[in-house]
Structure 1
């Protein structure tokens, strides 16, 4: 199963956060938002198909997030959890930790924003269009 989010980069994208990465529907980004990779997302977790959400709520599920912008590609793998709600209508957040809130889309991520390819980050800081493909395997 798969979900796709389209968003765009912003001049304040720094991808410096050590434990999360995020894509938001907000149309702005301050320098403090160092986990945010893109803004103006066309979808949020609350928009995802209930079957996709159900599959992600399996503790044994593998969730893969693939980010593509301006010819650059980065893939991050994490896992699902029964506590994932996918209720946020604003942001999708991947976490290296086990912390869950309504924005969380995967846990135990292999890396966070600071681990993203710097060429991809530079393209996003220049405002590149971003496609995020989320897939889940139970």
Structure 2
């Protein structure tokens, strides 16, 4: 089921596997980026998902202010989700991928679920459902 779609992100829920998939299609404004993350968290709560995939392959590096906001936002909200596992698909852009790794590394201690990075969406999905 498609939850949200725009020119920069596609968010869908796979009820049979309780997975929320967030695929970034490109850059967007700071406000759009923040709203997309907030909506994604709301959908994860609404559907009581077990797994989340963030496919960031096409997301360019985010602004420093958004990077700091993301660190704070994830620290305050993401760890409260009832997730079992979180998979990220690595960004093609080297700086964007470095940002993602910092975000995951800094929050890994607070996250009560397993996280892992992948090079493609199929591998991420298989890792989640293979461990269900």
Higher relative contact order (CA 8 A, sep 6+): 1
Normalising to structure 2: TM-score of the pair?
A: 0.25
Higher strand share: 1
Higher helix share: 2
Normalising to structure 1: TM-score of the pair?
A: 0.25
